[in-house]
A and B are shown apart, each in its own frame.
Chain A
Amino acid sequence: MDTGVFAYLVHKVNIERMANRDFTCSMDRGGVERIVYQISVVTVVAILVGAAASLAAIGFVDAVHYLNDRLLISPYARIQADHRSGLVTAATLIVPATGGLIVGLVVHFLVREKRGLAPPDAILAAQTSGPAPGIRSGLASTFAALVSLGSGASVGQYGPLVYLGAMFGNLVGHLRLNLRHQRSIAIACGVAAAISTAFNAPIAGLVFAHEVILRHYSLRAFAPVTVAAATGYIIANVIFDRPALFLVNFDRVEHSYEFVFFALEGVMCAGLAWVFMVLLRLSANVARRYIAPPWARPAVAGLIVGLVALWIPEVLGIGQETLRFATIEGAFGIGELALIIVAKLVLTALCVGFGFVGGVFSPALLIGILFGAFYGLVLPYVAPVPHSGLVVYAICGMMALASSVIGAPLTTILIVFELTRSYDLTIAAMVAVVFANLISYRVIGRSLFDLQLRARGFDLSLGRDKAILETHRIRDYLSREFTSASDRETVGDVRQRLVEDHRSEAMILNQDGELLGVVRLQGIVNSHADAPVLQAAIQSFTTFDEDTSVWQSMEMLRGFLGEAVPLVDRSGRLQGVVPEEAVIRAYLEIVHDLREEENEAA
């Protein structure tokens, strides 16, 4: 590529940018009005989206609890039905399977995407300007998640809550409010409020929206997202009163060498996260291979969950009680813990892979805390030195595994801090989380969400730039100005036309407009004027097609020597050309937009 042109364009874009900045800084009357308008509209949007997401989250969680009680999934309901013999057993076998059937049918017939909508859809909607799943799909998917969780499937509730928040944000994103990056900010607001409400942890909600959804920390997004997270917190605390996810008593880490144990625990949790991912993929493959109708798959998973639950009731549902027991010394034996960890791991992979709608965060928290408790119980046998008890290891395991799975180390650290208000516990969890992420990032990738997005062609593994450049098509930069030649013309005709057009390249087309070759002026300067032009044409040359992304076009331009790259449709007909300058311009504009979004002031 011509570095001179590139340098010039960079310079030009920078100058335009500075000019823009000067313009926005000049505080004329119109400017002030505009700023006041922006700040007030953004605040109202944040509060509205935050309140809607928060109320919806509370309604969702309450509805799940209601269903769990009614359908004899929760231990609280099961023990009260215990005296009616056979009822609990029947419910255990029938409810998850029937729930699975309903979920399968709803997803198959009402969700256009034919799968449960989840955080990856929220990420995609916030990152790109493409069409997001519609409201009907969103509601049907949320209903399917409600049935999944209500009927005791081993899936999580936070994924559907995040999507629910994103759905409200997306709705607001469609309003004509004339705000820049309106949709992505509104989605982030919804997600932040949902997490803030669900965990009763506003700071974690705020960070989650940036860390997982937006992937940047601009002040423009930061302010409304904070407002939304606070709104969620206020609603969760003032209007409704929900008990915290976990409450633990912990004084302090007694011995400094324990931090080595925490780090080691983090590494092991990364391994567990890897196993979890492998099982998820395996289960999805098994489902595809052995059960032909997609709508029947969740029912099969539900039946298996019910059968296992007769033996290990802990696998049913979200497992609030099991989560609590994991922090109580003496509640589990080592063998029991290992059994429940394996069962929960396998059944969660089964439920998610077979198409139950729900997240992986809650199961990861549960498996993590059980593994942490297991680690804490085994540790004294392996390293016979005094340590600070079970609680800290349980919490470390919980957060290390969960952060590896959802790719949100900061969020999980903050959840510990906000729920326990214990500095020592937070530092311990931080060490475990960081080591878990160090390993899991290398082995698995940033998160399950990113893996799922990559499978759908949106690769965030090299950061936002590449992923966004991949979503833009180079055909948007198509130029119709080029010199064409018929395959019957002679070298002399084409040479003459090139000179008149001030171009050095001509596209040779047949009667149907199909591209046969490219002729460069330097290749025909000395050729005989009567020779057919096709003979002098270059046969192997770079072409773009309608789907070539900006990122791909830049890759393809390596070593390119011509003026412009022809763009052909599927049948080989020439649509136009993309000048080298246009590729550079596309790259600069997109990257500039990204940098601007990331550095915007409030």
Chain B
Amino acid sequence: MKRPSLRVFPLIVIGLLAFFAVSSAQGESEAPEVLTVVTWGGSYEDSQRRAYFEPFTNATGIEIETVHYDGGVKVLREHLASGDVQWDVIDMIQSDASAACEEGLLALIDPAILAPAPDGTPAQEDFMAEAIHRCFITQIVFSTVIAFDDRAFPGVKPDSVEDFFDLEAFPGKRALRKSPVGLFEWALLSLSVPREQLYDLLSTRRGLELASRRLDDIRDAIIWWTRGDESVELLTSGQAVMATGYNGRFFHARAMEGAPISVIWDGQLIGFNSWAIPRGSGQADLAADFIAFATRSENMAAQANLISYGPARKSAQQRVGLHTDAGVPMRPYMPTAPSHMANAVIRDHQWYSQTVELREQWFREWLAH
């Protein structure tokens, strides 16, 4: 017996109560209810649909509708300001969720809704450190990586962030997300700044100026993307030879669609996605039920077996195996695989959430420059 079952008992009761509450809610209403989830589209959303949305609808009869989202706090702020709040659940980058929470844009989440691990380990111990927050529940570890089109470099392949900035050795267009995220980290990494000091240096005017000057070196070669699947398209269509993007999308393109894309793990930027409930959602209880459902170990593992994002709870990580359709082992593609961690940068969420305006202003100025 690993844990005393007494501590688990109340959680089971709450889980059952929640389940009955959901069932009865379904029984009472005539028309099928709809829950609106705001998420990121493409193969990521597909994996969520198969691992979370469809099973949730099967279990409760509640339909899930999705609204497309490309990150940031601004759109959420504007949606809430419109007065007609349609969004029930939102899948946010942790630093955005943290900033939104401070702005009062998110409803509080009772951590008691989280189910314990199948072996009875309480959720508090099963989730990663700091995953459970009053405003959000962190669910996956994702990574923003640099990938390249294998066809573009028949000889020597690029293998570092420095190569991304080296237009002489590796000529061609670079696809970058049009957002002040990741750009400055890579700019400084390419100048051999150790990852431990990235955010210290980026906190100085000199650091940001240095990053600007480094980005100037590739300014004319940049193609901007905004939607997560665009960066994959830019590579597969041959418009760009190197692109930054989400590791799961690149995995999907390569493993599922056979696209000639390779990932450079050097300087991968590790981040976290979290479930949150916009303040003012008319179905906050239902939204909490959905989050409780989507954060169960077996459901999180099911998603990780569809796309290479690491689940944020240990019992789910232990259940990651072969890809549900393709049968490839998923663990080597996870951002947290030991071989990928040598020069990984863990995104500093506090820094990100406190520097939203500054980063946006810096980015605007650099673009206009």
Contact = CB atoms under 8 A, between A and B. Distances in A.
A522 interface: no
Contacts of A82: 355, 358
What is the interface of chain B mostly: helix, strand, loop, or mixed? helix
Nearest to B213: A330
Given A321-B203, A321-B204, A330-B213, A79 B197 contact: no
Contact of A76 (B194, B199, B206, B357): B199
Given A80-B354, A82-B358, A331 B203 contact: no
Given A75-B204, A321-B201, A243 B194 contact: yes
A320 B358 contact: no
Given A80-B351, A82-B358, A243-B196, A328 B191 contact: yes
A383 interface: no
Interface in B188-229: 191-194, 196-197, 199-207, 210, 213
B201 A79 contact: no
Contact of B210 (A74, A78, A83, A330): A330
Contact of B203 (A76, A328, A330, A332): A76
A313 interface: yes
A37 interface: no
Contact of A321 (B191, B197, B213): B197
Interface string B164-204: 00000000000000000000000000011110110111111
Given A249-B192, A331-B210, A324 B197 contact: yes
Contacts of B203: 74-80, 321
Interface string A64-108: 000000000011111111110000000000000000000000000
A242 to B, nearest CB: 9
A238 interface: no
B191 A75 contact: no
B237 interface: no
A554 B207 CA distance: 62
B210 to A, nearest CB: 5
B194 A247 contact: yes
B350 interface: yes
Contacts of A328: 191-193, 210
Nearest to B194: A247
Given A80-B355, A83-B357, A331 B206 contact: yes
A79 B355 contact: yes
B200 A74 contact: yes
A325 interface: yes
Contacts of A76: 199-200, 203, 351
A79 B203 CA distance: 6
Contacts of B210: 325, 328, 330-331
A78 B354 CA distance: 11
B188 to A, nearest CB: 8
A321 B196 contact: no
Contacts of B358: 79, 82-83
Contact of A243 (B197, B201, B357): B197
Contacts of B199: 76
A76 B198 CA distance: 10
Contacts of B197: 243, 320-321, 324
Contacts of A332: 206
Contacts of A79: 202-204, 351, 354-355, 358
Contacts of A74: 200, 203
B207 A321 contact: yes
Interface residues of B, number: 23
Given A328-B210, A331-B210, A80 B350 contact: yes
Interface string A326-339: 00111110000000
Contacts of B202: 79
A308 to B, nearest CB: 16
Contacts of B205: 313
A251 to B, nearest CB: 12
A81 B355 CA distance: 9
A71 to B, nearest CB: 15
A330 B191 CA distance: 10
Contact of B193 (A81, A313, A324): A324
A74 B207 CA distance: 14
Interface string B253-286: 0000000000000000000000000000000000
A328 B214 CA distance: 12
B342 to A, nearest CB: 14
A247 B196 CA distance: 10
A78 B357 CA distance: 14
A590 B297 CA distance: 76
B175 to A, nearest CB: 25
A78 B355 CA distance: 11
Given A76-B351, A330-B213, A331-B210, A321 B193 contact: no
Contacts of A325: 201, 204, 206-207, 210
Nearest to A327: B192
A80 B349 CA distance: 12
Nearest to A81: B354
Nearest to A80: B354
A248 B200 CA distance: 16
Contacts of B207: 75, 321, 325
Interface in B336-369: 350-351, 354-355, 357-358
A325 B197 CA distance: 11
Interface in B99-146: none
B361 to A, nearest CB: 10
Contacts of A321: 197, 200-201, 203-204, 206-207
Contacts of B213: 330
Contacts of B350: 80
Contacts of A77: 203
B159 to A, nearest CB: 16
Contacts of A81: 354
A76 B204 CA distance: 8
Nearest to B357: A83
A82 B205 CA distance: 12
A76 B192 CA distance: 20
A218 to B, nearest CB: 39
B294 to A, nearest CB: 32
Interface string B82-113: 00000000000000000000000000000000
A565 B357 CA distance: 83
Contacts of B354: 79-81, 83
Contacts of A248: 192
Contacts of B351: 76, 79-80
Nearest to B209: A331
Contacts of A320: 197, 200
Nearest to B202: A79
A293 to B, nearest CB: 36
A331 B188 CA distance: 11
B309 to A, nearest CB: 27
B101 to A, nearest CB: 16
A81 B350 CA distance: 12
A325 B210 CA distance: 9
Contacts of A243: 194, 196-197
A271 B155 CA distance: 52
A332 B210 CA distance: 9
Contacts of A313: 204-205
A81 B213 CA distance: 25
A99 B363 CA distance: 37
Interface of B: 191-194, 196-197, 199-207, 210, 213, 350-351, 354-355, 357-358
Interface of A: 74-83, 243, 247-249, 313, 320-321, 324-325, 328-332
9 contacts: A77-B203, A80-B350, A80-B354, A82-B355, A243-B194, A247-B194, A325-B210, A330-B210, A331-B206
Given A79-B355, A325-B210, A328-B191, 6 more contacts: A76-B199, A79-B354, A320-B197, A324-B200, A325-B204, A328-B193
**9 nearest A-B pairs in the assembled complex, by CB-CB distance:** A80-B354, A75-B203, A79-B203, A243-B196, A76-B203, A75-B204, A247-B194, A249-B192, A76-B200
